[in-house]
């Protein structure tokens, strides 16, 4: 078999560099790797890496991860803006992963509150729970591969990104209130969920059972009592209560115990619970 012939390193003239970059971008997706340059320009790895480094130095490319670059729009060079849609970084940076928590709640119109950081659940090992990529803040949560369920594939340009479906979004926030912006915000999202035509108490129960976090049923049953006409969900949660007590929100002081839900709640929630009970009596 004949050996593949690679071209010599091209000249570094600006016009020639721009033409070659345009050729590479036309064959790559929204990201450029050494392999893209090798395949498109028939270069060996050494020269391809040098070419990428030159484009990076010329500020025609921005490095967004190890060996991963994206083109910088001409009108974004002065402002330092790199990506209009940070979601497209998720598959390349975090592998088998999905956008979830408050970021997914925004996507599904469960909230009007805006959050700067992007919540990502990933099966990759993580060293830190926060990763900043050129001004884009990702908050990471590690999950086991069997917990990668209840997601939707959506297309952002030419990049396919997974996002938790509306039911999994609720369950994830109940499992860890920190990724939902705190229990008060989660309660608002929970109420908004039941205004949707696709709301499904059965799916919530199914997902919660599959996730296997007992605190979810305690928090969900407690919040379900604040919404009229959801007795079946309340009973389903009550039938699945695990031993031990949990906090309504681990990020808050929760000195009062609601024995029926084995749930510690903040003082500020006591009055609201009593008001709900009065309305339902």
Write the pLDDT tens digit of every residue in 163-212.
999 999 999 999 999 999 999 999 999 999 999 999 999 999 999 999 99
What is the side-by-side order of every strand in the sheet holding 256-258? 246-247, 263-265, 256-258
What average pLDDT does this structure show over 85-92? 85
Judge if pTM exceeds 0.85. no
pLDDT tens readout for residues 212-236 = 999 999 999 999 998 888 899 999 9
SS3 assignment, position 85: coil
More confident residue, 55 or 162: 162
Alpha-carbon distance 245 to 262, whole Å?
5
Measured CA distances, 216 to 35, 223, 242 (Å): 45, 11, 10
What's the CA gap between 187 and 206, in Å, rounded?
20
Q: Among 138, 10, 134, which Cα is nearest to 62's?
A: 134
Q: How buried is 245 (Cβ within 10 angstroms: 0-12 exposed, 13-18 middle, 19+ buried)? A: middle
Q: Domain extents for the chain?
A: 14-76, 86-280
Q: Is the pLDDT of residue 8 over 70?
A: no
CA distance 130 to 168: 22
Model confidence pLDDT, tens digit, residues 234-256: 999 999 999 999 999 999 999 99
Domain 14-76 has CATH 1.10.10.10: yes
Decide if 99 contacts 120 (C-beta within 8 A): yes
Locus of tokens 């721009």: 18
């Amino acid at each position: 078999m004949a050996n593949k012939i690679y071209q010599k390193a091209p000249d570094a003239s600006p016009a020639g560099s721009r033409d070659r970059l345009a050729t590479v971008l036309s064959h790559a997706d929204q990201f450029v790797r050494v392999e893209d340059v090798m395949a498109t320009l028939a270069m060996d790895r050494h020269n391809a890496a040098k070419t990428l480094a030159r484009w990076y130095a010329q500020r025609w490319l921005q490095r967004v991860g190890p060996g991963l670059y994206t083109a910088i729009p001409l009108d974004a060079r002065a402002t330092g803006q790199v990506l209009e849609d940070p979601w497209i970084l998720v598959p390349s940076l975090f592998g088998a992963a999905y956008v979830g928590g408050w970021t997914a709640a925004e996507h599904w119109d469960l909230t009007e509150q805006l959050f700067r950081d992007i919540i990502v659940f990933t099966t990759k090992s993580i060293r830190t729970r926060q990763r900043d990529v050129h001004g884009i803040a990702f908050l990471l949560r590690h999950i086991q591969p069997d917990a990668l369920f209840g997601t939707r594939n959506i297309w952002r340009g030419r990049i396919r990104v997974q996002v938790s479906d509306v039911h999994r979004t609720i369950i994830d926030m109940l499992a860890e209130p920190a990724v939902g912006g705190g229990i008060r915000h989660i309660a608002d999202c929970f109420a908004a969920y039941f205004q949707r035509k696709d709301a499904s108490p059965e799916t919530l129960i199914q997902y919660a059972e599959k996730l296997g976090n007992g605190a979810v049923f305690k928090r969900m049953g407690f919040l379900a009592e604040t919404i009229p006409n959801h007795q079946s969900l309340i009973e389903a949660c009550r039938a699945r209560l695990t031993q031990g007590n949990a906090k309504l929100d681990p990020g808050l002081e929760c000195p009062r115990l609601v024995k029926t839900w084995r749930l510690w709640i903040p003082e500020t929630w006591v009055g609201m619970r009593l008001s709900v009970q009065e309305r339902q009596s």
